[in-house]
């Protein structure tokens, strides 16, 4: 039972109920998220004024994190969706038709199939708020749809192959990768720009914070273009050949390409060499997806495995056997959808590792081209060879949107204001890096100590061992004499030793000076001999 004791002196002792304790723990866990990392270590500071200033600032951060945690607990209007089964029923056996019976009418409107058999496999893209969708059919059909009231805003037939579609910063502009070039269209279907520089584009993606339109073309070149003033920021020759697997990591703006050799390379516009190269699969990488928190990446290869990678350590976390996913997509809440053939599997990580959550199989002839989760809704959009469909996946979308980040109920005035603010906050392409939290951080001081003599010796030993253990090529036709082999080995070791010469000389020099004052005196010219230092 809860007992509130009051001491005579000063303190009130309150014993919490288990419920309250649970709430405290929950709030603390939420607080951690809002604190965004550890506080600074103030013990090492010697400057008292700075210490007090930083201490008061840290206190302020703690207070605001507490307030944000409380707001999240009590004030958010909606809660996340879920699908729970009781007894022996498994969630992945539940069909969309069963779900349709249980949910309300607004949600059931989100389940549909749109059949357009003439215009080829469809690629989809959603705006950041999930309100508008762009569907591009391979045979040239582009359709801009308002998802809230299922209005077709504009559809155009470009009469050319369309390989990919992407929205720019809002629904007013979109880009389509057509047969020879990529084009930018306005919301009313007018062709605004023809992007000739890029060549025949295979994939188009837009980096929202930087206003960069990234594309990879049929030759394997990566292009970044700033769409605010049209400058081509970077064109990078990847050197790895043709690929059409390209995704953007939303956490840090890095573009990842999946190649036919099974490597995944990550690029930033300011360097010609990739940031990271990972060997992910023995065969070609067929698709790629990034978790919104930026730490997880899912790749699938033609050998019927889907692998989940941790991007902080670049290590494999999990392998899922059994199917080869032509398309992968992560939802805002971390569910992974994989589409193969006419079958979509949705995996969830409620138990720590990704396991089967739901599945949906379409009509046998429908070949799935792209799956993409709709932001802020529990909906998965599927683009396939006979049109596009939408299915309900409870628990995939973020239930509470922030009006200043993405507002599905935007008015045109709000949209215009937001565009101006987005442009003011546009980041320069130099801010794309693997770890975005480095911005604003101080560089560690460069006062690296000179390595001690012992350390240098150790390094030298290691290098000599490495040189000695190098495998020599076995030469034929009488060139493989033992004397020549030993000579060559000695040469290698000498080369390695030569890279450590300065230490010896300076160390020896110092020894001489410290050891013998007479030597120092001997070095001076005769007239200065009387000024030589004597102990």
Partner 1 sequence: MRIKTISRSVDEFTRERSQDLQRVFHNFDPSLRPMEKAVEYQRALTAAKLEKIFARPFVGAMDGHRDGISCMAKNPNYLKGIFSASMDGDIRLWDIATRRTVCQFPGHQGAVRGLTVSTDGNVLVSCGIDSTVRLWNVPRPSLEDSDLSSEKSAEPSAVYVCKNALLAVDHQFEGELFATSGAQIDIWNHNRSQPVHSFKPGNDSVISVRFNPGEPDILAVSSNDRRMIIYDIRMSSAAREIRMQTKTNSIAWNPMEPMNFTGANEDGNCYSFDGRKNEEAKCVHKDHVSAVMDIDFSPTGREFVTGSYDRSVRIFPYNGGHSREIYHTKRMQRVFCVKYSSDATYVISGSDDTNLRLWKAKASEQLGVILPREQKKHEYNEAVKNRYKHLPEIKRIVRHRHLPKPIYKAIAESRAVNNAKKRKDDRRKASSAPGTIVTKPLRTRRIINEREVE
Provide the mask over 159-198, with x wherever binding to partner 1 is found by CB under 8 A and - wherever it is not: ----------------------------------------
Cα(356)–Cα(341) distance, integer angstroms: 18
- If the CB atoms of residues 19 and 89 are measured against partner 1, the closer one turns out to be 89
Q: CB–CB of 332/370 below 8 Å?
A: no
Cα(276)–Cα(215) distance, integer angstroms: 18
Cα(391)–Cα(85) distance, integer angstroms: 19
Contact between 112 and partner 1 per CB under 8 A = no
Q: CB–CB of 415/409 below 8 Å?
A: no
- For 242, other C-beta atoms within 10 Å of its C-beta total 14
We find the least distance from the C-beta atom of residue 393 to partner 1, in angstroms, to be: 9
**Binding-site member from 27, 45, 80, 114 for partner 1 (CB under 8 A):** 80
Query: What are the structure tokens assigned to 127, written together?
Result: 């705006």
Q: Which residue has the tokens 């604003």?
A: 440
Contact between 427 and partner 1 per CB under 8 A = yes
Contact between 253 and partner 1 per CB under 8 A = yes
Contact between 398 and partner 1 per CB under 8 A = yes
Contact between 250 and partner 1 per CB under 8 A = yes
Q: Which residue has the tokens 């980041």?
A: 427
We find the least distance from the C-beta atom of residue 401 to partner 1, in angstroms, to be: 6
Please tell me the count of residues contacting partner 1 according to CB under 8 A.
67
**Binding-site member from 272, 293, 350, 361 for partner 1 (CB under 8 A):** 293
Cα(146)–Cα(139) distance, integer angstroms: 22
Q: Which of residues 10-39 bind partner 1 (CB under 8 A)?
A: 33-34, 36
Following DSSP, what letter does each residue of 241-293 receive, concatenated? ----EEEE-TTT--EEEE-TTSEEEEE-TT-SS-SEEEE--SS-EEEEEE-TT
Query: What are the structure tokens assigned to 193, written together?
Result: 């720009």
Using alpha carbons, select from 226, 223, 225 the residue that is nearest to residue 215.
223
Contact between 294 and partner 1 per CB under 8 A = yes
Give the range of 70-78, 235-243, 452-460, 490-498 binding partner 1 by CB under 8 A: 70-78
How many CA atoms, within 13 angstroms, populate the side-chain half-sphere of residue 103?
Answer: 21
**Binding-site member from 200, 284, 341, 399 for partner 1 (CB under 8 A):** 399
- If the CB atoms of residues 280 and 432 are measured against partner 1, the closer one turns out to be 432
Q: Which of residues 493-512 bind partner 1 (CB under 8 A)?
A: none
Using alpha carbons, select from 275, 382, 375 the residue that is nearest to residue 333.
375
**Binding-site member from 45, 54, 55, 148 for partner 1 (CB under 8 A):** 148
Query: What are the structure tokens assigned to 504, written together?
Result: 């010896």
Give the range of 76-84, 195-203, 307-315, 488-496 binding partner 1 by CB under 8 A: 76-84
- Contacting residues toward partner 1, per CB under 8 A: 33-34, 36, 49, 68, 71-72, 76-86, 89, 94, 98-99, 102-104, 106-107, 148, 209, 250-253, 292-294, 376-378, 392, 394, 397-409, 411, 414, 424-428, 431, 436-437, 439-440, 442
């Amino acid at each position: 039972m809860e007992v509130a004791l009051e001491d005579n002196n000063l303190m009130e002792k309150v014993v919490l109920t288990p419920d309250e304790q649970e709430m405290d723990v929950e709030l603390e866990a939420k607080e951690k998220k809002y604190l965004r990392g550890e506080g600074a270590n103030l013990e090492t500071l010697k400057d008292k004024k700075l210490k007090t200033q930083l201490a008061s600032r840290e206190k302020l951060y703690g207070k605001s994190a507490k307030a944000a945690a409380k707001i999240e607990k009590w004030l958010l209007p909606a809660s996340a969706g879920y699908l729970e089964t009781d007894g022996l029923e498994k969630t992945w056996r539940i069909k969309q038709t069963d779900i349709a019976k249980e949910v309300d009418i607004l949600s059931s409107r989100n389940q549909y199939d749109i059949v357009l058999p003439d215009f080829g496999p469809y690629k989809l893209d959603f705006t950041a708020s999930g309100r508008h969708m762009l569907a591009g059919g391979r045979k040239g059909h582009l359709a801009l749809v308002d998802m809230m009231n299922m209005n077709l805003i504009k559809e155009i037939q470009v009469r050319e192959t369309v390989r990919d579609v992407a929205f720019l910063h809002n629904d007013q502009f979109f880009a389509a990768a057509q047969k020879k070039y990529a084009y930018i269209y306005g919301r009313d279907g007018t062709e605004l720009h023809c992007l000739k520089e890029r060549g025949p584009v295979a994939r188009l993606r837009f980096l929202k914070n930087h206003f960069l339109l990234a594309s990879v073309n049929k030759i394997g070149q990566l292009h970044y273009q700033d769409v605010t003033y049209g400058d081509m920021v970077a064109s990078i020759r990847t050197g790895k050949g043709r690929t059409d697997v390209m995704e953007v990591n939303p956490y840090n703006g890095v573009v990842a390409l999946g190649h036919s050799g099974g490597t995944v390379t990550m690029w930033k516009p300011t360097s010609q060499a990739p940031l990271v190269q990972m060997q992910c699969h023995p065969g070609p990488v067929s698709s790629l997806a990034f978790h919104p928190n930026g730490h997880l990446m899912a790749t699938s290869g033609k050998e019927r495995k889907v692998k989940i990678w941790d991007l902080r350590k670049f290590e494999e976390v999990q392998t899922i056997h059994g199917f080869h996913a032509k398309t992968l997509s992560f939802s805002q809440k971390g569910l992974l959808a994989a589409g193969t053939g006419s079958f979509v599997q949705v995996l969830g990580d409620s138990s720590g590792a990704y396991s089967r959550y739901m599945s949906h199989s379409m009509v046998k002839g429908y070949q799935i081209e792209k799956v993409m989760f709709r932001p802020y809704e529990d909906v998965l959009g599927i683009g396939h060879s006979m049109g596009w469909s939408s299915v309900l996946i409870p628990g995939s979308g973020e239930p509470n949107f922030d009006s200043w980040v993405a507002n599905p109920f935007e008015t045109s005035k709000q949209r215009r204001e937001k565009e101006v603010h987005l442009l003011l906050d546009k980041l320069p392409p130099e801010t794309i890096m693997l770890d975005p939290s480095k911005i604003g951080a101080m560089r560690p001081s460069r006062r690296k100590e000179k390595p001690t003599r012992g350390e240098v010796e150790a390094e030298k030993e290691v290098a000599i061992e490495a040189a000695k253990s190098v495998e020599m090529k076995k030469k034929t036709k009488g060139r493989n004499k033992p004397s020549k082999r030993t000579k060559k080995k000695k040469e290698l070791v000498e080369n390695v030793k030569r890279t450590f010469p300065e230490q010896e000389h300076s160390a020896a020099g110092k020894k001489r000076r410290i050891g013998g004052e007479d030597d120092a005196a001997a070095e001076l010219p005769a007239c200065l001999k009387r000024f030589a230092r004597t102990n």
